[in-house]
Amino acid sequence: MHIIIYCMKKIRFIPQALFLLCFNLTFSNLFSQSSVYNVRFLENQKSFPKISEMMSREEDTLQKQFQAKQLVWPARFVYIRSFKYDSEMEVWVKNKQSEKYKYFKTYKICALAGSLGPKRMAGDYQVPEGFYYINEFNPRSLYHLSLGLNYPNASDRMLCDLSQPGGDIYIHGSCVTTGCIPITDGQIEELYVLAAHAKDLGQDFIPVHIFPVNFDNPKSVAYLKRFLANFNEFVPFEKSMQNAFYYFEKNHQVPPVVVNSKGEYVIEEVTVPAVLSPKSDAWATKKLTHPVQPIPDEDLAASVDKLPLYPGGNTAFKIFIDKLSEDMIKELEPGQTKAFILMEYIIDDNGKTIYANAISGGNEKMNLKIEKAFTNMPLWIPAVRQGKNVPIKLKQNLMVEAP
């Protein structure tokens, strides 16, 4: 009740008629609780030999990094924000609730799955967007170490496919992903130690906000605008993400977030600085030849009991995407170092790829080659709904980046 009252005081513009559900992760910088569990958390983690060895090694390194940036080690409060298109994850820290967060460092996200926009079903290779917190420290992860996120959150549970919303979203090591946020092993070790100390000091809810783009990067914003032109149903959602981004930019405090009765995020609006689209973005503005979609959208499955499966599973599909992205490096235009291509494709009820279209990004020659590679994929195990094979449209991002 205290949380709800706080939200209503802070966000006065919300009509009282709305049913408000306060999102507890946003209040991680407003309060913390001391408990027996928290007092013993670091000790429990160190009971794993792997963690004990890593702690003794990384703590000294982190302490020196903090000292170099005039930060106090260990941080009592940690805030993480990730930018999908930019493939970056920022870490911010502070030691008192009344303080503003201070920038610590940026980690490079080393693999990407899915497209922009929120995650709405299991098995779609999609990285979520929204407001989450760390709810698991996993020292036994298959991906070296991992920090679990509370997906699906309150908003996701209202807007996702209720029969299969998905789960098991982690920040982890090993640089591979089918819908998580992967960084290098060395980076996950640092972040794991940093977060473990904050939790041990009482920060039960370490916020992790996942944004579509870094809204301070004009080129990234231009890409988001092109994406939303094709998927305008996400415009209100991405507007709320933009509000949260600029709230933090203005205040250096985690923004209060409310979920209304429709599952929408409600965040205090902040005046957004004018962002000009880049003048030279030729690779994204070329006129592309689009293939004709053979099955109308109304005849495609909107939801399924089982998603289609690439032969060999998610790991094999990732290998295919990574190899294709690497092959496309030679198709980058002069002066272009990176391309971010959004593909849509249809797997029919026999498991055949009957349609592939580069919606945005890339250039004409590159996109035609990617479309051809998608249509030449081997047969998938088709999607299933109510015991029958059904056709379905999927989306996939590819990042082509020169070394």
Tens-digit pLDDT profile for the chain (403 aa)? 333 333 333 443 443 333 334 444 444 444 344 344 444 788 888 888 888 888 888 888 999 999 999 999 999 999 999 998 888 899 999 999 999 999 999 998 876 666 787 877 766 667 889 999 999 898 888 778 889 888 888 888 888 766 666 667 888 787 666 557 888 888 889 999 999 999 999 999 999 999 999 998 888 898 888 888 888 888 998 999 999 999 999 999 999 998 888 888 888 877 666 543 333 333 233 344 457 889 988 899 877 888 899 999 988 998 999 899 999 999 888 888 888 788 889 999 999 999 998 877 788 889 889 999 999 999 999 999 999 999 999 888 788 888 8
Q: Are 169 and 148 in contact (CB under 8 A)?
A: yes
Confidence at residue 391, expressed as pLDDT on a 0 to 100 scale: 94
pTM above 0.85, yes or no: no
Q: Are 212 and 243 in contact (CB under 8 A)?
A: no
Between CA 31 and CA 3 the distance in angstroms is: 10
The pair phi, psi for residue 324, each rounded to 5°, is -65, -45
Confidence at residue 350, expressed as pLDDT on a 0 to 100 scale: 95
Q: Are 82 and 209 in contact (CB under 8 A)?
A: yes
Counting beta carbons within 10 angstroms of the beta carbon of residue 56, is it exposed (0 to 12), middle (13 to 18) or buried (19 or more)? exposed
Between CA 263 and CA 29 the distance in angstroms is: 23
Return the structure tokens found at 342: 């959004």
Between CA 27 and CA 35 the distance in angstroms is: 18
Q: Most distant CA pair in the chain: distance in Å?
A: 62
End-to-end alpha carbon distance in the chain: 52
Between CA 75 and CA 71 the distance in angstroms is: 8
Return the structure tokens found at 175: 């640089």
Confidence at residue 377, expressed as pLDDT on a 0 to 100 scale: 95
Give the Cβ contact number of residue 372 at 10 Å: 10
Between CA 343 and CA 356 the distance in angstroms is: 7
User: Which residue do the tokens 């205290």 mark?
Assistant: 2
Between CA 233 and CA 228 the distance in angstroms is: 8
Q: Are 144 and 127 in contact (CB under 8 A)?
A: no
Q: Are 172 and 149 in contact (CB under 8 A)?
A: no
Confidence at residue 13, expressed as pLDDT on a 0 to 100 scale: 40
Contacts 24+ apart (CB under 8 A), 99-102: 100/251, 100/252, 100/253, 101/29, 101/77, 101/248, 101/252, 101/253, 101/254, 102/69, 102/71, 102/252
Confidence at residue 5, expressed as pLDDT on a 0 to 100 scale: 31
Confidence at residue 132, expressed as pLDDT on a 0 to 100 scale: 92
Q: Are 333 and 283 in contact (CB under 8 A)?
A: yes
Confidence at residue 330, expressed as pLDDT on a 0 to 100 scale: 92
Q: Which residue type sits at 21?
A: L
Q: How is the beta sheet containing 170-172 ordered, strand by strand? A: 102-108, 88-94, 77-83, 207-211, 130-138, 146-149, 170-172, 181-182
Confidence at residue 360, expressed as pLDDT on a 0 to 100 scale: 75
